[in-house]
Amino acid sequence: MHKPDDMPVYPPALDRRVPTEAESMLQLVSQIHQKVDDLDKRLTQQTHDATLKLAEEIAALMCKAFPGEDPDGHRKFHEEQMQIVADRAEFWKKMRFEICKWGIAGLLGWLVVIAWRAVLQGPK
């Protein structure tokens, strides 16, 4: 069949039932995107679950690490021990001060008694 020169040339008819290459690529990209989203959701959930399980295990171990599973009681025990040590140090500090104070007072008193006896005896 011969076509006249003045007839317009149309592109071949496209069959809409058969996807074009661009449409196929778009479908593939959409599928990949959906799978990546699904994977992200699963990984996020798995990370959350693992973190929660780890926190629970750490809490359980912390309770077992203390006598009677009582971390507050253990802390209070140490605070009491530290207070006893601090009180003992304060006691000995005061004791040294009082011994020095009364020792100096006794020494001065003894020197006064010696001086008074010397005054009473008069010059020799």
| Domain co-membership, 122 together with 80 | yes
pLDDT over 90 percentage in the chain:
63
- Are 53 and 74 in the same domain? no
CA atoms within 13 A on the CB side of 80: 6
Q: Based on the structure, what is the number of domains in the chain?
A: 2
50 plus 75 within the same structural domain: no
In this structure, is residue 12 part of a structural domain?
A: no
Q: Are 66 and 73 in contact (CB under 8 A)?
A: yes
Between CA 99 and CA 15 the distance in angstroms is 113
Q: Do 110 and 80 fall within a single domain?
A: yes
For residues 79 and 120, membership in a common domain is answered with yes
The model's pLDDT over 39-67, given as tens digits with 9 standing for 90+, comes to 999 999 999 999 999 999 998 888 788 88
Q: Are residues 51 and 81 in the same domain?
A: no
Q: Same structural domain for residues 61 and 77?
A: no
Q: For residue 84, what are its two tokens? A: 């006893």
Establish if 40 belongs to a structural domain: yes
DSSP 52-83: HHHHHHHHHHHHHTSGGG-HHHHHHHHHHHHH
111 within a domain of the structure (yes/no): yes
pLDDT tier at 68 (50, 70, 90 boundaries)? confident
**Structure pTM?**
0.45
Please give the residue range of the domain that contains residue 50: 21-65
The pLDDT-based confidence of 4 (bands split at 50, 70, 90) is low
Decide if 62 contacts 71 (C-beta within 8 A).
Answer: yes
Does residue 90 belong to any structural domain of this protein? yes
Provide φ and ψ at 72, rounded to 5°.
-65, -40
Is the domain of 61 the same as that of 74? Answer: no
Domain-embedded: residue 97: yes
**CB-based burial, 57-68: b 16+ in 10 Å, e otherwise:** eeeeeeeeeeee
pLDDT class of 19 with cuts at 50, 70, 90? low
Is 9 within a domain?
A: no
